[in-house]
Amino acid sequence: MLDTVIIGSGPAGLGAAIYASRAALDYVVLEKAGYSGGQIVTTNDLDNYPGMPNIDGASFSMALQEHAEKLGAVIKEATVTAIERNDDKSFTLKIDGQDDIITKTVILATGANPRTLNIPGEAQFLSHGVYYCATCDGMFFRDKVTAVIGGGNTALEDVLFLAKICKKVYLIHRRDELRGDKHSQEKIFALPNVEFVPSAVPKSIKGDKKVTTLEIELQKTGETKEIAVDGIFVAVGMIPNNKLVPDFVATDKAGYVIADETGVTNTAGFFVAGDLRTKALRQVITAASDGANAIKSVTDYLNA
């Protein structure tokens, strides 16, 4: 029986693996994708991880994996289909096409993905003008024109961040009124370089090698309009990768596993790390930190 199984090999999972090796735990990392890194792999430029400026997501992920493997991490390609709790409080992991794995503890680090617009050009220009995190990638658009799509608190925070560095920021929202908090709205409406475009639905994203144009439809008139932009930040929510969360683990209304930075859930021996847990900031650095904290919680649990 293993001490722990880490499911997912993004920054949270690999961060956990590094600390699991240092804690001399008997463990394995399971990754269904066949490669490590999670969604950070698709990031063209990662500029906010301490000590590793201007690195692309794939290189960053490779460095994380090499670090973990150098310390003894075993990363196994496997698709977990279910997690069951046994009478002795251990866990059985059902693996597609492979033998079951029995473990004393589980760390679920399957992350979350940005909700997409599903419009032409969005996937084509990913990391070439289309992004899902302004605080991660906004600095590449200093003195340029950007658009934020969304109307909640995340979108408003993105606008406030970008407005400090961009020549102009368009805020595109499908409704007449924003859903974010009123204090942030007041700040935004007072900014001279922010233009709010209400009742507008994005229709397509155009460009050559990089984004040049956002096409929107004004719902009240049916008019189609093109806006010249250098970058587009989509802020219409996140979708937690929670398919493996068993019924005995508590989640919030949005489907995130309820846990603080310790990764401790309502079920003894079951821990969560990274973007899948309830948290205010979903960044690479907080995911890696979650992995370390989860191993601390695992060792405390095992020692007890």
Question: Tokens standing for 196?
Answer: 């709010």
Q: Which is the catalytic residue, given 45, 47, 100, 137?
A: 137
Strand partners, 131: 233
Instruction: For residue 275, indicate whether it is catalytic.
Output: no
Nearest to 271 by CA among 9, 12, 10: 12
Q: Which is the catalytic residue, given 26, 88, 100, 136?
A: 136
Which one-letter DSSP state was computed for residue 259? Answer: -
The Cβ-side half-sphere exposure at 209, using a 13 Å CA radius, reads 0
CA distances from 274 to 109, 259, 282 (A): 6, 10, 7
For the chain, the helix, strand and coil percentages under 3-state DSSP, each to the nearest 5: 25, 30, 45
CB of 131 closer than 8 Å to CB of 137: yes
Q: Which residues contact 280 (CB under 8 A, 6 or more apart)?
A: none
Nearest to 112 by CA among 66, 84, 78, 154: 154
Residue 76: strand, helix, or coil:
strand
Instruction: For residue 137, indicate whether it is catalytic.
Output: yes
Q: Which is the catalytic residue, given 133, 158, 166, 275?
A: 133
Catalytic residues: 133, 136-137
